[in-house]
Structure 1
Amino acid sequence: MSPGIIRRAMSQLSAVHRGTAFEERSLQILQDHFSMSLRRVGGKSDGGIDLQGWWWLPPLSHTRASAATEASPNRRRLRILAQCKAEKKKFSPNYVREMEGVWHCQNPTREENTNSSYPSVALLLSESPFTTSTLKRALSSSVPFLLLHLPPASVDGDSAANDPIGSAFCNPALGGQSGLLEGEVEIRWEHALSGGRPGLWWHGQRLESWTPDRQPAEPT
């Protein structure tokens, strides 16, 4: 086997390892800070989805009386479809277009949709920053989008820096008054000695991260 083939094979293995590590780190951050219980999908038949599961949020004001679940009387769940990009190059708007296609494939028409009681959110996680054109594309999309920039973890042993959240954006289709969250849940930057991080706020109060248990929830 030639040295060139060996180098390419090693590079591919390194990329796979990096991608898997990023997915695992994303799972932990999403559970610890964003009330999400997800699981890795992966494989050739993943349909373009790396992570999927549930986002546990308080019920909307006009549905609060009937939105209780057996898992929690104070939370409702939204379906999450996520892609993770552990790449050094900046995040391209092409990934937004790709995720729009994935979301539409996973969300058939109202007549065909068997998961209509669980609206879906498209989540994009990137180890590299989002370009301006990427943000513009996501903000103008009719698909409910949440974008999270998770810079590479530090290796200096500082636990506050080992799970950094660089930035978080939700588009109007998700966070706007006419969006899926109807303006009741928002992302705010929370300042701290370590530099701060984005956090979830609900009706002017910080929303503590909560999931039913530590095991990934299975979408139905």
Structure 2
Amino acid sequence: LSHVHRGTLFEQHSLSVLQNSLSMALARVGGRGDGGVDLQGWWWLPEHPGRGGDARMRIRVLAQCKLERRKLSPKSVRELEGVLLRSMAPLSSGSSTSISVDEQLDPVVGLLISAVPFTKGTVLRAHSSPIPLMLLHLPPPPQISLGDKLTEDAPSMGTFLFNPALGATHGLLRGHVQPRWE
């Protein structure tokens, strides 16, 4: 498989996991001219977690999927921060990832998805960011070979982290949502 085809398969795998496990309604936008965004859409969360009811809060999600052989460096987080800042700018850029006037009031979260674990420096960089971020280590399925043994016995889920700007009591989610797999 070509590198582009493997990347596309990883994006589709990521999309499936996010939709089926995290109540995200996303679309794949990766490709030439994508503005650094592979997946975008909405994360639908209960308005008041733990109270029940049907009210949902929508959060805009912009995701980058990285199918690399080596652990991602802090550079990947800085790159995602730049993509998010650009997307939040008023519609001056005309890019497909710019947020419309109606959507500018909705909160935005960046999601960095990696086929390999994150370095300590990457986690620390995300943790220190003032922008709400999620890091997801999602081992690729066996059909997406990286040419090594990485995918043979890979678990279906790896690490899933929120930075304080997203998950802390002073963050976007006010400490009401915690990442965990059951």
TM class by shorter chain equals 0.7 to 0.9
1:85 aligns with 2:100: no
C-alpha distance 52-113 of structure 1, shift in aligned 2 (>3 A): closer
> Percentage identity across aligned positions?
51
- 1:205 match: none
Deviation at 1:23, TM superposition (A): 0.3
Deviation at 1:42, TM superposition (A): 1.8
Deviation at 1:113, TM superposition (A): 7.4
* 2:138–2:159 contact (8 Å) kept in structure 1: yes
Deviation at 1:60, TM superposition (A): 4.3
1:37 counterpart SS class: strand
* 1:107–1:113 contact (8 Å) kept in structure 2: no
1:105 to 86, 91, 104: 86
In the alignment of these two chains, the number of paired residues is 162
Deviation at 1:75, TM superposition (A): 1.5
C-alpha distance 181-39 of structure 1, shift in aligned 2 (>3 A): same
CA distance in 1, matches of 2:57, 2:124: 29
**Larger of the two Rg values belongs to structure:** 1
- 1:211 match: none
Deviation at 1:45, TM superposition (A): 1.7
CA distance in 1, matches of 2:140, 2:40: 22
Deviation at 1:133, TM superposition (A): 0.3
- 1:168 match: 160
1:180 counterpart SS class: coil
Q: Deviations over 1:55-94 (max 9, x none)?
A: 0101147xx9xxxxxxx94212100000000111111110
* 2:41–2:60 contact (8 Å) kept in structure 1: yes
Q: Give matches, 1:113-128, under 5 Å.
A: 114=101, 115-128=103-116
- 2:173 match: 181
CA distance in 2, matches of 1:113, 1:75: 20
| 1:108 alignment partner AA | A
Q: What TM-score do you get using the length of structure 1 for normalisation?
A: 0.68
- 1:214 match: none
CA distance in 2, matches of 1:23, 1:163: 17
* 1:60–1:181 contact (8 Å) kept in structure 2: no
| 1:56 alignment partner AA | W
Deviation at 1:163, TM superposition (A): 7.3
2:178 counterpart SS class: strand
1:59 aligns with 2:50: no
Deviation at 1:101, TM superposition (A): 0.4
2:135 counterpart SS class: strand
CA distance in 2, matches of 1:141, 1:32: 28
CA distance in 1, matches of 2:167, 2:179: 9
| 1:186 alignment partner AA | Q
